[in-house]
Amino acid sequence: MKNLLVSILFFLTLLTPNMSYSNEVNREQRLIQIMEKAIFCTVAYSYQLRFASIAVIIVPSNDPKVSIDALLSASKSWIIITETVQDALRDEYGHLQQYLSQYKDQSVQTLSSQISTEFITLIPDEFIPKLYNSTLGCPALAIEARDLLKDKSNSPEPDRIKPHTPKRKM
C-alpha cells in the first residue's frame, strides 16, 4: 500500500510541471489570437472614426451612431491593447519585435485594403452597418485580454467608479 502511494505521489509530481507548461503554451497561443483580433478591432474602430468624422463634416446635422469622442477613445484603447499584447509576447515568450511589427503592419494593410474595397463596391446601406457591426465582439475581447494580461488599466471598458460628469463652478 505504501509503495502504491509513493508511486502515485511520484507521478503527480511529474505531472505538475507539465501541466503548468501546458497552461503557459495555452496562454501564449491565446495572446497570439488576441493580438490578431486586437489588430482587427484597432482597424475597424479607426475606420468607424474616419467615416463618422466625415459624415459630421459633410452634413453637420448628421448624428453618427456612436459619438466621435467614444470612437476616438476606443481607437486609442485598441492601440494600447495591441501594443501591450505585443510587449507581453516579446518580453515573456521571446517573440522578435521585428516579426511582431511586420505581422501587425501586414495585417493592418490587408484589413485596410479589404475595408476600402468594400467601401467602393457596397452601397452605403450595406457598408455602414457592416462596418459598425464588425466591432460587436471587441468589448468582450478587451475584457479577455485584460484578464489574461492581469492589467485592468488597458481595457476600453469604462471606469464605473468615478462619475463622468463635469464639476460645477461655484
Q: Which residue has the cell 501546458?
A: 22
Given a contact cutoff of 8 angstroms between Cβ atoms, the answer to whether 38 and 81 are in contact is yes
The pLDDT value recorded for residue 150 is 77
The pLDDT value recorded for residue 161 is 44
Burial 101-133 (b: 16+ CB within 10 A, else e): eebbeebbeebeeebeeeeeeeeeeebbeebbe
The pLDDT value recorded for residue 3 is 60
pLDDT digit string (tens) for 105-121?
Answer: 999 999 999 999 999 99
Query: Helix (H, G, I), strand (E, B), or coil: what is residue 95?
Result: coil
How far does Cα 87 stand from its chain's mean position? Answer: 14
pTM listed for this prediction: 0.69
The pLDDT value recorded for residue 66 is 62
Query: Helix (H, G, I), strand (E, B), or coil: what is residue 65?
Result: coil
Cell reading at 58:
459633410
User: Please, what sign has the CA dihedral across residues 142, 75, 39, 28?
Assistant: negative
The pLDDT value recorded for residue 17 is 47
Query: Helix (H, G, I), strand (E, B), or coil: what is residue 22?
Result: helix
Question: How many helices (H) and strands (E) are present in the chain, helices listed first?
Answer: 5, 0
Average pLDDT, the chain: 78
Q: Which residue has the cell 484597432?
A: 42
The domain segmentation of the chain, as residue ranges, is: 30-152
The pLDDT value recorded for residue 156 is 44
Tens of each residue's pLDDT in the chain, 170 residues: 556 544 454 444 544 444 444 556 688 999 999 999 999 999 999 999 998 888 776 665 656 556 888 889 999 999 999 999 999 999 999 999 999 999 999 999 999 999 999 999 999 889 989 998 999 999 999 999 999 987 444 444 444 444 444 444 44
- Quote the CA–CA distance of 79 and 153 in Å, as a whole number: 13
